[in-house]
Structure 1
């Protein structure tokens, strides 16, 4: 009796071992295959999720407005002052030669439309003789080869002629206009009349 039970248990154990071996090998293959497919799918999902993010970042990059930088003395566009119904030519540079012909663009500052501080200067007795009539809330428009850029004046300052804060960098596209002050002063003016404007719209060419 005991011998028969022992044989049955041995056969049963052998069958269980065979089943276990078959089950483990076949499932191991399935598991490995499924894991590899899962990893491939996950990589695809991750890459798909990253693609819009990269594209979004690329879209946020500012379009390069000017492929060629102007030479000194070159006409780079016009300054329109709607309040005065005036259209004034802008020349690259602020030496007397440029200021005699129109508005001068400080060549160490960015070009109009670009992020940072674009600085324009003019004589109070020529192009900017009526600039004192322009103030906070008024608009300024600059037209260049890159397009049309509209700025809104947010601040009017009167500073010492040696005040260098007029040309400091700005975190956003800013237009700064500068001229001698007081407007009716005879001789070398001791101060400067400053208009600081923020870019509010643009039409690129």
Structure 2
């Protein structure tokens, strides 16, 4: 009788242990599955975001190529800058060396061309093409005519910065036109500052 009781007890203990082991294994597998699924989903999300980013970059590059199929050479005339406030039309040359600035407005070679997404930077001498630029300010319009079309910008910000301030040429998230000239306008000698106009593209007419 005692032997039967012990046998049942042993069977019960073994059964309980097996149930616990089964429960442990099933829980562990479920956790592993859920963890793996979450990692997979995270990976898929990253892939989708990466693909979307690549697609946007591709569209951005395509837009640049569509506006200008041929990039200008240094010293080449790329168009005109119109300043309605001054009733002025100024030629723009690709490059900002003295050779270009003596002829008109210079386009900073490392910046995008007018109309493109990002920061297109133009500069000129305060005592020649930009001698009246101080009369132009926030809310005024700037128009650039190039082989790609006519691009109209509206000035949203006027800055006076140190001559060595490099924030003038930093990239922008949208089509921006930045114009720079020496400041003060009546200063004799090498000017210590720069007069900066920052304008956003508000309309365009492509050719």
Q: How does the TM-score come out when normalised to structure 2?
A: 0.70
Shift of the 164–145 alpha-carbon distance from structure 1 to 2, 3 Å rule, reads same
Q: For the residues of structure 2 that align with 1:62 and 1:190, how far apart are their CA atoms?
A: 38
Aligned to 2:118: 116
For residues 39-50 of structure 1, the aligned pairs below 5 Å read none
TM-superposed CA distance for 1:76, in Å, is: 0.1
Name the structure 2 match of 1:140: 142
3-state SS of 2:67 partner: coil
Rg (Cα) greater in structure: 1
Matched, 1:202 2:204: yes
Q: How many positions carry a matched residue from both structures? A: 149
Q: 1:70 to 1:186 in 2, by over 3 A?
A: same
Mapped partners of 1:132, 1:171: distance in 2: 27
**Which consecutive residues of structure 1, in runs of 5 or more, have no partner in the other structure?**
1-56
User: Corresponding residue for 1:156?
Assistant: 158
CA distance in 1, matches of 2:158, 2:122: 15
* 1:34-92 CA-partner distances (Å, limit 9, x unpaired): xxxxxxxxxxxxxxxxxxxxxxx999973620000000000000000000000000000
The answer to whether residue 167 in structure 2 is matched with residue 165 in structure 1 is: yes
The answer to whether residue 179 in structure 2 is matched with residue 182 in structure 1 is no
Partner residue of 1:100?
102
Distance 1:124 1:59, change over 3 A: closer
What's the RMSD between the two structures over aligned residues? 1.6
- Matched position secondary structure for 2:191: coil
In structure 2, how many angstroms separate the alpha carbons of the residues matched to 1:59 and 1:183?
42
Moved over 4 A (4+): 57-61
TM (norm. structure 1) is: 0.70
Give the aligned partner of residue 24 of structure 1: none
